[in-house]
Amino acid sequence: MSRKLLITNATLLSESGSPLLRNQFVQIDDDLISSIASMNEYGGSHDARVVDAGGKLLMPGLINGHNHAAMTLFRGYADDLALQEWLHNHIFPAEAAAINPEMVYWCATLAAAEMIRSGTTCVADAYFHSGEAARAFSDAGLRAVVGHGIVDFPVPSVPDPAKNIETVAHFIDSWQGLSPLISPAVFPHAPYTCSPATLKKAKELADAKGVRLLTHIAETRTEQTQIIDPHGSSPIKHLHALGLLDKNCTCIHCVWADAEDLDLLAERDSAVVTCPQSNAKLASGIAPVQNMLVKGITVGIGTDGCASNNSLDLFREMDMLTKLQKLANADPTSLCGTDVLKCATSSGATAIGLDGLGSIEVGAKADVILVDVSGAHLTPLYNQDFLVYSAAGSDVDSVIVNGRLIMHARHIVSFDVNEAVDRVRSLAVQTGTLR
């Protein structure tokens, strides 16, 4: 049986510089937008469920291009530390004690609640026991690219590093084509945790299975000195020498990318996902996003895990991104709000290999959100830039993914959020991370 949803009395985003489109209706048939028109042409519900969007703006759902969702367990656990100390002396040991399938499922479910409530309809996640993360996102109704981690040392989901590629291949086979919401991926963690041989095998696996490859790269100033057997004079040149850079590769962070690195990324058509709040909190630096866009590199936005952020709200991330670029370039015209919004929607989808998401047009996937624009902080409503500079995740009223209403009037209807909160709180006590 087909599923129909009709959104009435909506305000829609329009092209940059154009007025917002008011008093519109949008019809959704199954998972696609089937019609957009003025309310003057509205002819009734036609057996569809009707959602009145009066006082609300309908826009594409936000794309979180990088997250470690299960790390909700470690939110606030080890704040105010440098990346390598934070990672090696606190996070890695805590993960070794805490990671198991139950932890990943419930902590990813809690992350899904936070993301849905702040307008995210799709996430690119990267962690371990990734089948449980995929199950959590699928149960929550959230679209996801789910990368299974690969490192050259034992982790709870892969105690024998010699079997890391085999384990990830099994994960991909288990999820590929199983759900319209889930796209499996390969996640070699970084060139300082994966040898050149491992990185090459990860790339070969991604190509053989036809899935995305996600990897951390050029996050810190000192990363080059930590790379295992460097094959290039920079982390990005290292990936290029190993054959990882191409259209199917998503490079996460790229904070310390020089002009030659950016030329390589552009030439190889590799995408970048920037995580401005995480990079700022860890004092890693400011990625040269303005220069990336000038060179034609596809850029998405991610929150990173909330252990290094502590929020999964992409509205906060957009605001931080544009302001940091203006500050870094000493130019208030750098990275305007419209460009940032594109990074969080259509370009963000392309950056993680999901072309066709992130727009409001007939034939597009019905991953959309309704933002309540009636508040004092959003009045008056001149143009779409207010979404970057004034809106917050708490302004999101309703969320639709794949044509299914999963949050309405701030209430998530796809799962029990309170159960997830209780489960994660209990896990924090059991594992000793909550003292």
Q: pLDDT for 209-224, tens place per residue? A: 999 999 999 999 999 9
* Mean pLDDT (whole number) for 338-365: 95
Q: Reply yes or no on whether the pLDDT at 9 is more than 70.
A: yes
Question: According to the model, what pLDDT value does residue 16 have?
Answer: 59
On whether the CB atoms of residues 296 and 339 are closer than 8 A, the answer is no
* Mean pLDDT (whole number) for 288-312: 96
Q: How many CB atoms lie within 10 A of CB 18?
A: 10
Question: According to the model, what pLDDT value does residue 415 have?
Answer: 97
Q: Reply yes or no on whether the pLDDT at 1 is more than 70.
A: no
Query: Which of 333, 351, 369 is the last residue before a domain boundary?
Result: 351
Tens-digit pLDDT profile for residues 154-166:
998 899 999 999 9
The confidence band for 257, taking pLDDT boundaries of 50, 70 and 90, is: very high
Do 362 and 400 have their domain in common? Answer: yes
Do 77 and 49 have their domain in common? Answer: no
Q: Reply yes or no on whether the pLDDT at 330 is more than 90.
A: yes
Question: According to the model, what pLDDT value does residue 435 have?
Answer: 57
Do 42 and 106 have their domain in common? Answer: no
On whether the CB atoms of residues 431 and 167 are closer than 8 A, the answer is no
Question: According to the model, what pLDDT value does residue 427 have?
Answer: 93
427 found inside a domain: no
424 found inside a domain: no
Question: According to the model, what pLDDT value does residue 18 have?
Answer: 66
The confidence band for 44, taking pLDDT boundaries of 50, 70 and 90, is: confident
* Mean pLDDT (whole number) for 364-387: 93
Q: Reply yes or no on whether the pLDDT at 434 is more than 80.
A: no
Handedness of CA 2, 108, 321, 224 (dihedral sign): negative
Question: According to the model, what pLDDT value does residue 17 have?
Answer: 57
Q: Reply yes or no on whether the pLDDT at 338 is more than 60.
A: yes
DSSP assignment letter at 89: I
396 found inside a domain: yes
In the chain, the percentage of residues whose pLDDT exceeds 90 is 86
Q: Reply yes or no on whether the pLDDT at 111 is more than 60.
A: yes
In the chain, the percentage of residues whose pLDDT exceeds 70 is 98
Query: Which of 301, 326, 351 is the last residue before a domain boundary?
Result: 351
Do 67 and 55 have their domain in common? Answer: no
Q: Reply yes or no on whether the pLDDT at 325 is more than 90.
A: yes
Question: According to the model, what pLDDT value does residue 433 have?
Answer: 67
Which of these ranges, 130-134, 222-226, 324-328, 384-388, has the smallest mean pLDDT?
384-388
- HSE at residue 237, side-chain half, CA atoms within 13 A, is 13
Residue written as tokens 């199950």?
Answer: 135
31 found inside a domain: yes
Do 219 and 234 have their domain in common? Answer: yes
On whether the CB atoms of residues 280 and 300 are closer than 8 A, the answer is no
435 found inside a domain: no
CATH code, domain carrying 401: 2.30.40.10
Do 370 and 224 have their domain in common? Answer: no
Tens-digit pLDDT profile for residues 50-78:
999 999 999 999 999 999 999 999 998 88
Do 77 and 185 have their domain in common? Answer: yes
Do 135 and 108 have their domain in common? Answer: yes
In 3-state terms, what secondary structure has residue 398? strand
Q: Reply yes or no on whether the pLDDT at 169 is more than 90.
A: yes
Which range is most confident: 44-58, 174-188, 419-433?
Answer: 174-188
What are the two backbone dihedrals, phi and then psi, of residue 20, each rounded to the nearest 5 degrees?
Answer: -65, 150
On whether the CB atoms of residues 115 and 142 are closer than 8 A, the answer is yes
430 found inside a domain: no
On whether the CB atoms of residues 320 and 298 are closer than 8 A, the answer is no
CA separation for the pair 435, 427 (Å, rounded): 12
* Mean pLDDT (whole number) for 184-201: 98
Query: Which of 315, 334, 351 is the last residue before a domain boundary?
Result: 351
Do 97 and 36 have their domain in common? Answer: no
Question: According to the model, what pLDDT value does residue 292 have?
Answer: 98
The structure's pTM equals: 0.96
Do 300 and 206 have their domain in common? Answer: yes
* Mean pLDDT (whole number) for 398-407: 98
Question: According to the model, what pLDDT value does residue 156 have?
Answer: 86
66 found inside a domain: yes
72 found inside a domain: yes
CA separation for the pair 36, 92 (Å, rounded): 49
Boundaries of domain holding 12? 4-61+356-412
CA separation for the pair 415, 264 (Å, rounded): 44
Do 220 and 107 have their domain in common? Answer: yes
CA separation for the pair 421, 406 (Å, rounded): 18
CATH code, domain carrying 99: 3.20.20.140
Question: Measured at the alpha carbon of residue 91, what is the angle toward residues 90 and 97, in degrees to the nearest 5?
Answer: 95
Tens-digit pLDDT profile for residues 11-39:
998 765 567 899 999 999 999 999 999 99
Domain count, the chain: 2
Do 248 and 302 have their domain in common? Answer: yes
Residue written as tokens 């300082």?
Answer: 192
Q: Reply yes or no on whether the pLDDT at 364 is more than 60.
A: yes
